[in-house]
């Protein structure tokens, strides 16, 4: 902590951290997994005053250029930096996309089961305890590797996910993006008892109430916020799936974009991805819902371009979360840079034609542009030296959001244009019917909840209270669009 404790207060804190560690362990909140060697990691000492008593480990690919991004990865309870390094898949993409990794490590001296103290205000508040130690690690790594301070990101699993959410709220001026894996909303808990409540039955606050907790944790006057990915298994009985919904409500409210998805997609492992775009068409919040996955981090061992990680206790073979998160942040070279260059956004972006598998675009030339980047749902999908582009390999009957940005001769991307939507021809979709409780509809992405009430994804049809006792039939009429069909549903 940043301030000294009396013996009485210190004793309370030791009890509190031990109790939460016991809760986490008994609930399965990351029981001991394989403690892999920290080979490839470098321990860095003397990185700051370190009020949170954490250890700093780093990894950087050979020949890492100056100005590369930086990713901070927080392990779960009873895990270590080496364990997370060996299993999570993040080193694979550090090598592929050229960025440095920082892996903070806590210990039983801080918490009986080596959990980050996400529930302790004195450890998760800006300028205090473990939160400040992690910030000092970022500063040390930026200096050590010459990292781009505009492209610093943070991710964490379980207790590390809870700390990630708090770090994003406390330091939005430090982190351009974050990923909360099987974690909790920012400021969900401020004590041992409320930590337990958040894990199993998070408070059903309104989006505005959740957003206010972030705004109050951030520096006064903050207007720029990190982009947030949320990963959650639908069969998680340790950190209940409702936490993902509350996280979604929290960060969409912070961005001021509402809780209705811009689009819904299906990824590997049956994962449902719902995306929420800002006013400029850039994705600000993503929710990845993995059907049937219990508590843990999603990995997908193998040598394929979208595979990563190693299975083990709470490293679950479903889909490579690190790959999709890295692409969402733009670490693969796509996406928007946090600080665009001086070229203005192209005007006049328009859809000039569609087929069942392609969409053609045109826009007005920007003086000084050497080329143009074309982005689909915030990810770069093409480059053009003219004022037109055709995107191919699309799915029939599907809506896609496009933006475009001018690139100068030095390779610096300018401001991103307003978005346009292109819908490919054909149906591309099989009508399906789903009868389930409102809670399960939300968990599956067919509906969303706001203020304790449930609404159908796409149509926004009111479905009543968000619980397991209210049952409805939903009919999916197009990708990501559901309507009430209680009177009968024919697929």
Residue 24 has pLDDT above 70, yes or no: no
Confidence of residue 31 (pLDDT cuts 50, 70, 90): very low
Above 90 in pLDDT, residue 462?
no
Q: What is the pLDDT, as a whole number, of residue 3?
A: 28
Q: Which residue has the higher pLDDT, 278 or 338?
A: 278
pLDDT at residue 256, as a whole number: 93
Q: Which residue from 210, 213, 271, 279 is spatially nearest to 246, judged by alpha carbons?
A: 210
Mean pLDDT, range 382-388, rounded to an integer: 94
Which pLDDT belongs to residue 219?
94
Asked if the model's pLDDT at residue 5 lies above 60, the reply is no
The pLDDT > 90 percentage for the chain reads 63
pLDDT, tens only, 52-70: 999 999 999 999 999 999 9
Confidence bin at 394 (pLDDT 50/70/90): confident
* pLDDT for position 426: 76
Least confident of 299-303, 309-313, 336-340, 350-354: 336-340
State how far the alpha carbon of 124 is from the alpha carbons of 161, 173, 291, 364, 418, in Å.
12, 16, 31, 47, 37
pLDDT of residue 80: 92
pLDDT bracket for residue 459 (50, 70, 90): confident
Structural domains present in the chain: 7-328 (3.40.50.1820), 350-423 (2.60.40.10), 432-484 (no CATH)
Place 313 in a pLDDT band, splitting at 50, 70 and 90. Answer: confident
Report residue 25's pLDDT band, with 50, 70 and 90 as the boundaries: very low
- Asked if the model's pLDDT at residue 480 lies above 80, the reply is no
- The confidence score (pLDDT) of residue 296 equals 95
Roughly what angle, to the nearest 10 degrees, separates helices 7-27 and 192-200? Answer: 20
Residue 127 has a CB neighbour count (10 Å cut-off) of: 11
- The residue that leads in pLDDT, 11 or 88, is 88
Q: Give the residue-averaged pLDDT of 464-476.
A: 91
Q: Which of 208-222, 324-338, 435-449 has the lowest mean pLDDT?
A: 324-338
- Quote the pLDDT of residue 428: 56
Q: Give whole-number Cα distances, 430 to 64, 79, 340, 473, 481, in Å.
A: 47, 43, 41, 16, 12
pTM for the model: 0.66
pLDDT of residue 448: 86
Q: Which of 279, 282, 280, 284 is nearest to 254 (CA)?
A: 284
List 158, 322, 417, 450, catalytic entry: 158
The mean per-residue pLDDT over the stretch 211-229 comes to: 94
158 among known catalytic residues:
yes
Task: Name 299's bridge partners.
Answer: 317
Measured in whole angstroms, how far is the alpha carbon of residue 274 from the centre of its chain? 12
Per residue in 255-293, pLDDT (tens digit) is 999 999 999 999 988 999 999 998 888 899 999 999 999
Sorted by sequence, the CB contacts under 8 Å of residue 442 that are 6+ apart come out as 241, 245, 448, 449, 454, 466
Average pLDDT, the chain: 86
- Work out the pLDDT band at 221, boundaries 50, 70, 90: confident
């Amino acid at each position: 902590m940043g301030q000294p404790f009396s013996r009485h207060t210190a004793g309370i804190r030791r009890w509190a951290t031990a109790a939460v560690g016991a809760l986490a362990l008994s609930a399965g909140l990351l029981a001991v997994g394989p403690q892999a060697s920290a080979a490839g990691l470098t321990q860095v000492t003397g990185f700051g005053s370190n009020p949170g008593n954490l250890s700093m480990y780093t990894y950087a690919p050979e020949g890492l250029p100056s100005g590369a991004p930086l990713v901070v990865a927080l392990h779960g309870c009873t895990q270590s930096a080496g364990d997370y390094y060996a299993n999570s898949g993040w080193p694979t993409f550090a090598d592929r996309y050229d960025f440095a990794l920082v892996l903070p490590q806590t210990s039983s001296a801080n918490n009986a089961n080596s959990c980050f103290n996400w529930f302790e205000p004195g450890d998760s508040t800006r300028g205090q305890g473990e939160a400040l130690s992690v910030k000092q690690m970022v500063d040390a790594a930026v200096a050590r590797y010459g990292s781009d301070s505009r492209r610093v990101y943070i991710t964490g699993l379980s207790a590390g996910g809870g700390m990630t959410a708090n770090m994003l709220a406390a330091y939005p001026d430090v982190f351009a993006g974050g990923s909360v894996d099987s974690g909790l909303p920012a400021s969900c808990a401020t004590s041992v008892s409320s930590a337990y409540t958040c894990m199993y039955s998070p408070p059903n606050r309104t989006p505005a109430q959740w957003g206010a907790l972030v705004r109050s944790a951030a520096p006064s006057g903050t207007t720029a916020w990190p982009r947030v990915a949320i990963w959650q298994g639908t069969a998680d009985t340790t950190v209940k799936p409702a936490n993902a919904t509350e996280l979604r409500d929290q960060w969409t409210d912070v961005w001021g974009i509402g809780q209705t998805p811009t689009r819904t997609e299906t990824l590997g492992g049956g994962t449902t991805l719902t995306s929420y775009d800002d006013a400029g068409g850039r994705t600000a919040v993503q929710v990845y819902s993995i059907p049937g996955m219990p508590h843990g981090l999603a990995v997908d061992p193998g040598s394929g371009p979208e595979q990563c990680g190693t299975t083990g206790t709470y490293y679950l073979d479903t889909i490579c979360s690190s790959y999709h998160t890295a692409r969402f942040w733009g670490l693969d070279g796509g996406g928007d840079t946090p600080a665009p260059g001086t070229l203005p956004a192209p005007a006049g972006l328009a859809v000039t034609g569609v087929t069942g598998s392609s969409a053609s675009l045109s826009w007005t030339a920007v003086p000084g542009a050497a080329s143009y980047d074309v982005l689909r749902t915030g990810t770069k999908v093409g480059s053009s030296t003219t004022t037109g582009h055709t995107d191919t390999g699309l799915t029939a009957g599907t809506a896609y959001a496009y933006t475009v940005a001018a690139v100068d001769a030095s390779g610096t991307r300018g401001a991103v244009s307003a978005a346009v939507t292109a819908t490919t021809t054909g149906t591309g979709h099989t009508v399906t019917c789903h009868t389930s409780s409102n809670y399960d509809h939300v968990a599956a992405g067919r509906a969303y909840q706001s203020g304790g009430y449930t609404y159908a994804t796409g149509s926004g049809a009111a479905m009543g209270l968000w619980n397991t006792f209210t049952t409805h039939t939903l009919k999916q009429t197009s990708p990501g669009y559901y309507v009430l069909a209680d009177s009968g549903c024919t697929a």
